[in-house]
Structure 1
Amino acid sequence: MLPAGRRLNVPLPEPQEVPPQWLARLEHLQKGLQDVKHQIEGAPEDERQGIPFIEIVMANELPLNCRTPAIAKYNGTTDPMEHLSRFENAALLHRYTDGIKCRVFVTTFAGAAQQWFNQLLVGVIGSFQEFRSLFLHQFASSRKVQKTELSLFAIRQGEDEPLKEYLQWFNTAALEVPAATQEAKANAFSQGLLDGDFFKSLAKKPVSKFDALLARAAKYINMEEAQAAKKDGRGEKRKEVREEAPSKKPRGDLR
C-alpha cells in the first residue's frame, strides 16, 4: 500500500504513428458507410448518373470475339423471365464470365428497361445473380400468369379440324403448363376430341400416359392424311376427265 497523499508515477506510452495502410482502410470504410447512407436516404441526382457495377465487374476484359446475342430487345412490356432465359442460353453458348454477362445483358435493354438501368445507384450490382434478381423484381408485373392443368381441359378440337392440327395446338398449350402430369394431359386431350375414330379407340382401350396417347395418335394421323390424299386425288382425277372430255355439239348442228 502507498502512503496517503502519494501517487504512483507510471510513465504513459508515447503516441505511435498510425500506419498508412490503416488510414487507407479507415477511409475506405467511411466511404462505404457514406454510400450506404446515400442508398437509404436517396443519392443525389448527379451521383445516379454513374455506373451501377462494382469495379470487379468492370475489370472483366471483353474477349476479341465477344458479340451481342441475337435476341430481341427488352422494353419492359413482355415477360422478363422469357427474355432472361433467352439471354442466359446465349451466355452459356458464348461462355461469358460473370462480369461479361452483366455488361452484355445491358445491351439487350430498350425503352423502360434502359431507363430503369440508367437510374440505378452506383455500385449496387456486384454479380450477375444480383443483376438478374433486381431485373426480375423490377418487371415482375409483366410476367405471364402461370396457367394450371385446368386450362388444358378447356381445349376442344374444332369441327373439321384434322387430328394433327389439334394435337399441335394442344402440345403448344401444354408447354405453358410445365407442372401438368402425364395423366392430366392424357385426360384433357381425350376430353377435347371430336367423336371420331381416335376417340372411339380411346374409349375402348383408354391410356393413362400422354406419351402412350401420342404414339397411338400418330397412327390415326397417318390414316387421316392418307384418306385426305386419296380423296384429293380422286377429285383431281375427275376434274382432269371433265376438262379432257370432247365437247358435244347439239344434234341440230350435225351435218
Structure 2
Amino acid sequence: MTNISRSSFTDEIEQAEPQREFSMPHFIYFKGDEDSDRYLKHYRSAMILYRNNDDLMCKIFITTLQGEVQDWFYTLLPQSIRNFDEVSLVFTKEYSSYRSIKKKSEHLFDVKKNPKELFHDYVMRFKVEKARIVRCNDSITKAAFQK
C-alpha cells in the first residue's frame, strides 16, 4: 500500500500544475494488449501542443493507462521517473512483447486471392497489407499484385 501512495514520479513532476489553457485531448486508452510503440506515437500526436511540457506529458500519460497497465505503473520505484523519456523507456521495455512485426515488401507475395473471394475484396485486402509496410517498394508491389 505504501508504493501506491508514493508516486513513481519525482516531486518536481508531482507538484507541477497544468497550464491554464490546457484542454485534455482525446486518447485511445492503453490496456496492454497492443503495440507499445504505436501507442506512444498516438499519445505524442495527441499531446503535440504540450510536448515541451515534460511534467504534463508524464502526468497525463499515466491517466491513459488502464487496468493491469496502470497497476504496473504503481509497481515502479517511488521517485524513479524524472521525465517523459524515462516513462517511455520503462513502458516500452515492459510492453515490447506486443510490438508489431515489421513486414517487408516481399510479404505481399504471401497475399493471395482465396478461390471464393471477390476480386474487389482481394484488392482491398492487398491494399491494407501494403499500407502496413513502411517504405514499400513499388516494383515489388506491382510484381506481387500481378502474380
TM over 0.5: yes
Structure 2 alignment gaps of length 5 or more: none
Deviation of the 1:187 alpha carbon: 1.3
Looking at both structures, which has the greater relative contact order when contacts are Cα pairs under 8 Å and sequence separation is at least 6? Answer: 2
Distance, in Å, in 2 between the alignment partners of 1:65 and 1:166 is: 48
The one-letter code matched in structure 2 to 1:171 is K
Deviation of the 1:98 alpha carbon: 1.2
Deviation of the 1:138 alpha carbon: 0.5
- Aligned equivalent of 2:106: 150
Cα displacement string for residues 154-207 of structure 1 (whole angstroms, at most 9, x for unaligned residues): 1124556245x433322211122214322221211221xxxxxxxxxxxxxxxx
- Aligned equivalent of 2:16: 60
Deviation of the 1:116 alpha carbon: 0.7
Identity %: 21
Structure 1 alignment gaps of length 5 or more: 1-44, 192-255
TM-score (norm 1): 0.51
Query: Hey, which bits of structure 1, 4+ residues long, moved more than 3 A?
Result: 157-160
**Larger gyration radius, structure 1 or structure 2:** 1
The one-letter code matched in structure 1 to 2:118 is E
Distance, in Å, in 2 between the alignment partners of 1:95 and 1:46 is: 31
Distance, in Å, in 2 between the alignment partners of 1:85 and 1:47 is: 29
Choose which of 50, 53, 58 in structure 2 pairs with 1:95.
Answer: 50
Distance, in Å, in 1 between the alignment partners of 2:141 and 2:16 is: 47
Deviation of the 1:143 alpha carbon: 1.6
Bigger mean CA deviation after superposition, 111-120 or 46-55: 46-55
Choose which of 118, 122, 135 in structure 2 pairs with 1:161.
Answer: 118
Deviation of the 1:83 alpha carbon: 1.5
Cα pair 2:3 2:75 within 8 Å, conserved: no
- Aligned equivalent of 1:245: none
Cα pair 2:81 2:87 within 8 Å, conserved: yes
Aligned-residue Cα RMSD (Å) equals: 2.2
Aligned length: 145
TM-score (norm 2): 0.84
